[in-house]
Structure 1
Amino acid sequence: MTRLLLAITFAISLMTGPASAETGPRYDILDFADLQGWAEDDHAAALAAFLETCGDLDDPDWSALCGLARETDDARGFFELLFRPVLIRDDAEMLFTGYFEPELNGAPYRSSTYRYPVYKMPPEARASRPWLTRRQLLTSGVMEGRGLEIAWVDDPVELFFLQIQGSGRIRFPDGRMIRVGYGGANGHPYRSVGRELVRRGVYTAHQVSMQVIANWVRRNPVAGRELLYHNAAYVFFREVSEVPPEKGPLGAMNRSITPLRSVAVDPRYTPLGAPVWIEKAGADPMNRLMIAQDTGSAIKGAQRADIFYGTGDEAGRIAGRTKDGGRMIVLMPIQRAYALLPEPVQ
């Protein structure tokens, strides 16, 4: 996530009834005792994340729960009393990945150190789909001298991955920080540079990570620049002034997301704003109650989730190596949970 979020997906309306048993997902209602590590989690931290977005859920059932959440002093009791755990499955195995918010070094003006511009979207890019490729945009001079620069950063590789993540923070030399978010794209499909390195035989698939790609590009500056041009897609940004830099970035619900309590899901299966219990396997297992507050272009399926690890390099390293199995259980309002079960055969 890595996540590879481009922040171009949008919230899909909440599920309200069962799908076909033959073609749709399968639902199993569980007990809280079935959730590994449930009793040991910090339910108050999950409730705080839930409150970040529950007020925006335009649905009577969820609105009522949000009101009760604001009044409760027993977080665990709130979830156990008013929700039921629902395991939603399709034909794919569970896959957890991770994503993070990059933090780049930059400045408001160009200098010998800060030479790589973070661009706003020019109007002609909105009018023409697709517009120029990454190579054309960066080599033709079409962006220069137009005041489209939000800031300048010191590392073109970090800027490339900022575009993949879709949002991030830029720290200026005086300590001031700004946050940038997705502001549009040139309309070309994303092409994975990691997959291209595998195709060339430079690495095998299990060796590729964001850090491995970054190190290869830096060791091979000419070939590295050409590798980045392989991805014709280019993301533009906007300054996100409505969110203080010390808070998390905006998720798909247009509210700040919380490190290790927010998760990106496929909203065709998991309602945005819903609590989800994750049981992540792998080298760093995690049993935790999180809130579905984001989406991603690569997050598809009932058992697919992207964990938000936070901001900065360490969060990026953890996110980049996350690729684990396990299971995810959605906490649904009681009446919604039982409505998902198939009708009994007469």
Structure 2
Amino acid sequence: MRPFAQYLLIAAFPLSLLGSAVSQASDVELPSTMAWTAYGTNSSGYAQAVAIGNMLQNKYDSSVRILPGENDVSRMTPLKQGRVDLCACGIASYYGMEGVMMFADRDWGPQPIRVITTSTASFGLSLAVAGDLNVETPADLAGKRIAYIRGDDALNKGTEAYLAFGGLTWDDVERVDYPGYARSFDGIIAGDVDASFTTTVTPPAQQLASSPRGISWPVLDPDDEAGWERMAAVAPYFRPHEVTAGAGDISADNPLASASYPYPIVVANQDLEDNVAYGLIKALQENYDDYKDNAPGANGYALEYQDLQWVVPFHDAVVEYYKEIDVWTDEMQAHQDQLVERQQVLIDAWEQFLQEAPSDNDAFASEWMSARASALSDAGFEPIFE
């Protein structure tokens, strides 16, 4: 397990350095047209992709066609098939790299994904808790009724991570199953369940806040190293985050010590052309002021919000850009090399597993997860998902 300090956002870039270094990079070269997938048309992720696309069109005459997808499959399948250049994805991009959950399937397996950039904005990702329970920290959730959303691995993993921060597991709470995310918030308002995982700014959280039960958000003490280590063991993509936007009384004047991870996560396949990856990251950084205010959360692409030691490796050309502007360190390179090695271990294990994989789908997923864990452990990596 890496030391706690390395889980913090890498943000301390001198402003004078940022202003002077970018001019050292070569000119941006982008194709005349690109295709991206993103969340649905009513999402902030789609709006951000449109804002970035408008900037690329205006500055570089590069047209971006955005294909909305309502779920992880519809967003990531075109990327897997090479029909789009990029996906403005969610945390499923990490699951895809790891070959777990929906990707523990014979049609998927570990994906050769590389990050171009990410957005980390003012909201957090947390358990929304009924405000009448006096829950102050995740440890206070012991014995409470916690929503489990059938078929939504990302939300349930988030809940599990918050419980782990408080030293709890699903065995320490009362699990209440729901067929969908919105229904779980109806259940909290009705008094049938006590908490459900969400973003702090989502409409269901706002509805709960205005209900008779009200809303509260458990505080994650940034100095609780043991708590963060437990959370990271379950879901290493979470980072400490000062939340300044959210339902209830969260604001810039009343921030919440909580957690978050990037959204969207703009990813490509490993084989995306270097000039495209390099041109994109350079264009996004050098023209930040031209799109940062044009969509909710678009300000999260600023350099100071980029976590350069996150859980998915960067595209090689993006690394080259960060080297050119003198923000890439030896420690970051060592971390990048580990992530690339981990991904290769997974891909090799997958190819070997397919040679004698069972035909039954349930057995396939179970045996793959076992083979995956063994391969990672043998190579000195934590499986994380078992």
Q: Larger % of helix: which? A: 2
Q: Same fold (TM over 0.5)?
A: no
Q: Which gives a bigger RCO, structure 1 or 2 (Cα 8 Å, sep 6+)?
A: 1
Q: TM-score, normalised by structure 2?
A: 0.26
Q: TM-score, normalised by structure 1?
A: 0.28
